[in-house]
Chains A and B, each alone.
Chain A
Amino acid sequence: MRYLPLTPADRQDMRKTIGVNSIDELFTDVPEAARLKSTVDLPSHQTELQVERAMSKLAGENTSASSVPFFVGAGAYKHHVPATVDHLIQRSEFLTAYTPYQPEISQGTLQTLFEFQTQVALMTGMDVANASMYDGSTACAEAVLMAGRVTKRKKAVLAGSLHPHYAETTRTSAKYLDINITSTDPDLDGLSGIADAIDDETACVVIQTPDVFGRLHDLTEISEKAHQHGALVIAVFTEAVSLGLVKSPGEMGADIAVGEGQGIGVGLNFGGPYVGLFACKNDRNFIRNLPGRLAGETVDADGRRGFVLTLSTREQHIRRDKATSNICTNSGLCALAFTIHMTLLGEKGLTTLAQLNHETACDLVDRLSGIDGVELLTDIFFNEFALRLNRPAADVVDALVDKGVLGGVPASRLYPGEGLDDILIVAATETNTQDDLAAYETALREVLS
């Protein structure tokens, strides 16, 4: 196909046909204040080498996660991604493959999705997992909508310690679907008041563990209470690595488990693309109402093992506006990266990685909690915890940056105006060395002195 640009005469003809005098007239719907009055102040043209120099200089002004001791989490975690992962996902069979509607030419893609689902189901202690969602927050929102379909109820209760971005995404998705969403207060225990909020009209309770402050919760009791009222329990996690060590959502009675898979195989990637994990119990009604794509194992005409997309009639490409969810695709490449990393780790490797994370976080807690003006608020944690500081955490984070340490996320950034200004959320992973921990301790001691 040749590309033939329009000549000025072509443009004039087109404008005449539709009755406008200038291109600008097409943009009158954009509010005046949002329109650019003059051209952007950029050099008109430079050589490739000049551009590369200019851009490298600009990029050098960033403090990137790998360049300093890094302790930022709150939903995205810096883990080591083995080189094998990047090498394999960039094979063109995987990288360029389109959505696997035709199983006869998509066996590789379908098999990896099937393996992905198997891994997610095993990790979460659930029976069924889908082929992934866009990210943890959209998985959470879809889980709430699914609970509404399964229970035919319209009320959802979110724990105050659910990541506020997840809560906001859920509210946005539910806004026009007549689902009433309430949240408990963002207290540091996060679960007080939630049992009382469950009644016979509640479709689901949504609880994150480890929660946004890093605290682990046992959902067993709340699950019993919810089930007595016919409500479902949605367990949320933002750190998939935690599942290598902590009790799985399934073992604690959760009906649906959703979370962010970024921590395994995907990398920080400046905030995306990520991969949402979604799993549920083996129940006919649940599976019919599951959002997203499912790869299934089957046999071909000759009895040989093969894979297909299954139960597709729930999905948009067949069901159109009546589809079970807004998602008709999945985070294919990120799911593949997750699966490759999980396969490299194996069950033992995942547990070892999780232990390493927990031990590093414990070491950091030991170093930081002894500093004057620091109080540890999270007594049961995985690789993330909350500290109360004797001054606004946002100021402390800025002061730490000046000392070359990225020290965490101030709770005020996630909960503006909620009176949590003195709380700092800190994550540690296997990528942090003892030198990193020592640097953090020294820097924080100096900042708070």
Chain B
Amino acid sequence: MSVKYTKDHEWVKIDGDTVTVGITAYAAEQLGDVVFVELPDVGKTFDQGDEMAVVESVKAASEVYAPVSGEVVAANSNLEGEPEKVNESADTDGWFVKLKLTDKSQLDDLMDEAAYAAHIS
């Protein structure tokens, strides 16, 4: 399973034709304490770059964009009651949605870990 990143600070964990999407630990830290996450319904489809979710912290509300086109096959309902998971474990328990890919080639345009590290440095 490989992980890719977007310039909008999302991580994309690839597992066959399904990807798990979350925001990076760097993004979570910049946002401050996350107090609410609004997730899309399962079954909804997005094109790459569409607004997919909203993350609200004590400081700001930010849109989370679909890193790739696809259909939502799961949403992390744990975040409804425990939005702080996004701060505590952004890379794992703080995941937002799982998407079923419609165009696998879109993954090629995303950054790898080293490129993302350079992007935020």
Contacts and interface: CB of A to CB of B under 8 A. Distances in A.
B80 interface: yes
Contacts, number: 17
Nearest to B57: A313
Contacts of B35: 313
Contacts of B60: 313, 318
A284 B35 CA distance: 12
A149 to B, nearest CB: 11
A288 interface: yes
B61 A288 contact: no
A313 B57 CA distance: 8
Interface string B45-76: 00000000010111011010000000000000
B88 interface: no
Contacts of B116: none
Contacts of A322: 54, 61, 63
Given A284-B80, A313-B56, A319 B61 contact: yes
A296 to B, nearest CB: 12
Interface size class of A (residues with CB under 8 A): under 10
B38 interface: yes
Contacts of A314: 61
Interface string B22-59: 00000000000001101000000000000000101110
A313 B80 CA distance: 16
Nearest to A319: B61
Interface in A275-329: 284, 288, 313-314, 318-319, 322
A318 B57 CA distance: 11
A243 B84 CA distance: 40
A288 B36 contact: yes
Nearest to A284: B80
A61 B108 CA distance: 79
A284 B36 CA distance: 10
Contacts of A288: 36, 38
Max chain B CB contacts within 10 Å: which of A284, A313, A319?
Answer: A313
Interface residues of B, number: 11
A318 B35 CA distance: 14
A288 B80 CA distance: 12
A284 B81 CA distance: 10
Contact of A318 (B61, B63, B80): B61
B36 A313 contact: yes
A313 B38 contact: no
B62 to A, nearest CB: 9
Max chain A CB contacts within 10 Å: which of B57, B58, B61, B63?
Answer: B61
Contacts of B63: 322
A313 B61 CA distance: 6
Interface string A172-200: 00000000000000000000000000000
B27 to A, nearest CB: 16
A382 B27 CA distance: 56
Nearest to B36: A288
Contacts of B56: 313
A314 B57 CA distance: 11
Contacts of B38: 288
A276 B49 CA distance: 39
A318 B61 CA distance: 7
Contacts of A318: 60-61
A288 B38 CA distance: 10
Nearest to A152: B41
Contacts of B54: 322
A288 B60 CA distance: 14
Contacts of B58: 313
A196 B54 CA distance: 37
Nearest to B61: A313
15 contacts: A284-B80, A288-B36, A288-B38, A313-B35, A313-B36, A313-B56, A313-B57, A313-B61, A314-B61, A318-B60, A318-B61, A319-B61, A322-B54, A322-B61, A322-B63
Given A284-B80, A318-B61, A322-B61, 9 more contacts: A288-B36, A288-B38, A313-B35, A313-B56, A313-B58, A314-B61, A318-B60, A322-B54, A322-B63
Interface of A: 284, 288, 313-314, 318-319, 322
